[in-house]
């Protein structure tokens, strides 16, 4: 079993360096999701590539690709050195999650595509299917189409984790298209729901370990930009890329964590 806390710290460091080098966006979204990924890839699921009976993880919030790439490289899906190619011409490490990268099940980037695909996989296989979505992404109509579908078909091997960092394109998710109680909505669609601290690895692990009798929704309360104080809770870091000074500051904080 990999130490998920160490994995998350290392992945965060990779992620900030990657977006700095590539002058890329979405670092805040990657940092809010990394603890969830670190737990998922620490050994509690069997994600060994090439095996038909592997568990499947779909990252539907494809813009947070650097977080996933860093985790996949650190857990042996491809060489860590390849992370340096992120955003460089000819690299397969695209700005949105690409299935041409080893370990990636599905390409995403246009929001609202992960959950329906996860439903199809969960129907077809007995293994666990985990799908990570953003809270802004829940605006998409497919969220609710697939939520109905999963409830109707009692997809007990399906877990959807909402990275609930409360910020989307223009700001607060409650102000842009208020969701009300995500938990109550999904419960009415026939899901079991649980709310956790999305940066607490024990809570993430426990939420995943539940014996499911229904499709499982984990609402992970997270902080956008988690781990770097000047990025935390700031919409700017959905778009900005850290300059040299900001990168050095971010790395100092992450190394000390």
Partner 1 sequence: MRDALIQAVIEVAKTDDRIWLLTGDLGYSVLEPLRDAIGCRFINAGIAEQNMTGVAAGLALAGKIVFTYSIANFPTLRCLEQIRNDVCYHNLPVKIVAVGGGLAYGSLGYTHHAVEDIAIMRSLPNMTVLAPGDPNEAKSCLRHAINCPGPTYVRLGKAGEQAIHSSIPDRIDTPIEVLSGRDITVLATGGGLSVAFQACKKLTAEGVSPRLLSVPCLHPIDLTGLCGPIVTVEDHGIGGLGSIVAEHVALTHVDAIVKCVRLHGTPTSLTGSMSQLQNAGGLSEETVIAAVNGLLSRRKYLNVA
3-class secondary structure per residue, the chain: CCCHHHHHHHHHHHHHHHHHHHCCCCHHHHHHHHHHHHHHHHHHCCCCCCCCCCCEEEECCHHHHHHHHHHHHHCCCCCHHHHHHCCCCCCCCCCCCCCCCCCCCCCCCCCCCHHHHHHHHHHHCCCCEEEEEECHHHHCHHHHHHHHHHHHCCCCCEEEEEEECCEECCEEHHHHHCCCCHHHHHHHCCCEEEEEECCCHHHHHHHHHCCCCCCEEEEEECCCCCCCCCCCCCHHHHCCCCCHHHHHHHHHHHHHC
For the bound state, the minimum distance from the C-beta of residue 154 to partner 1, rounded and expressed in Å, comes to 12
Q: Which is nearer to partner 1, 78 or 144 (CB)?
A: 144
Q: Which is nearer to partner 1, 23 or 152 (CB)?
A: 152
Q: Which is nearer to partner 1, 28 or 112 (CB)?
A: 112
CA distance 129 to 125: 9
For the bound state, the minimum distance from the C-beta of residue 145 to partner 1, rounded and expressed in Å, comes to 4
Report residue 207 as tokens: 């939420």
CA distance 107 to 99: 5
Q: Which is nearer to partner 1, 74 or 105 (CB)?
A: 105
Q: Which is nearer to partner 1, 112 or 136 (CB)?
A: 112
Q: Which is nearer to partner 1, 92 or 153 (CB)?
A: 153
For the bound state, the minimum distance from the C-beta of residue 224 to partner 1, rounded and expressed in Å, comes to 25
For the bound state, the minimum distance from the C-beta of residue 17 to partner 1, rounded and expressed in Å, comes to 29
For the bound state, the minimum distance from the C-beta of residue 54 to partner 1, rounded and expressed in Å, comes to 11
For the bound state, the minimum distance from the C-beta of residue 220 to partner 1, rounded and expressed in Å, comes to 22
Say how many C-beta atoms besides its own lie within 10 A of residue 184's C-beta.
Answer: 10
Q: Which is nearer to partner 1, 12 or 113 (CB)?
A: 113
Q: Which residues bind partner 1 (CB under 8 A)?
A: 52, 99, 105-107, 109-110, 112-113, 115-125, 141-142, 145-146, 148-149, 152-153
For the bound state, the minimum distance from the C-beta of residue 151 to partner 1, rounded and expressed in Å, comes to 11
């Amino acid at each position: 079993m990999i130490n998920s806390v160490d994995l998350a710290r290392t992945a965060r460091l990779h992620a900030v360096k990657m977006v700095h080098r590539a002058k890329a966006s979405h670092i805040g979204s990657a940092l809010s999701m990394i603890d969830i990924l670190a737990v998922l890839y620490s050994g509690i699921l069997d994600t060994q590539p090439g095996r038909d009976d592997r568990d499947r993880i779909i990252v539907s919030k494809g813009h947070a690709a650097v977080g996933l790439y860093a985790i996949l490289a650190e857990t042996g899906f491809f060489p860590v050195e390849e992370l340096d190619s992120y955003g460089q011409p000819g690299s397969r490490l695209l700005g949105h999650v690409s299935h041409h990268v080893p370990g990636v099940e599905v390409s995403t980037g246009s929001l609202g595509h992960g959950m329906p695909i996860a439903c199809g996989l969960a129907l077809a296989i007995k293994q666990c299917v985990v799908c990570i979505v953003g809270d802004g992404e829940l605006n998409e109509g497919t969220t609710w189409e697939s939520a109905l579908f999963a409830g109707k078909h009692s997809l007990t091997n399906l877990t959807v984790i909402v990275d609930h960092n409360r910020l989307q394109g223009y700001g607060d998710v409650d102000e842009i298209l208020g969701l009300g109680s995500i938990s109550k909505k999904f419960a009415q669609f026939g899901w079991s729901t649980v709310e956790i601290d999305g940066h607490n690895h024990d809570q993430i692990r426990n939420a995943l370990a539940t014996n499911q009798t229904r499709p499982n929704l984990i609402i992970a309360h997270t902080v956008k930009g988690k781990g770097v104080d000047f990025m935390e809770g700031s919409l700017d870091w959905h778009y900005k890329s850290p300059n040299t000074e900001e990168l050095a500051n971010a790395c100092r904080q992450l190394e000390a964590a």
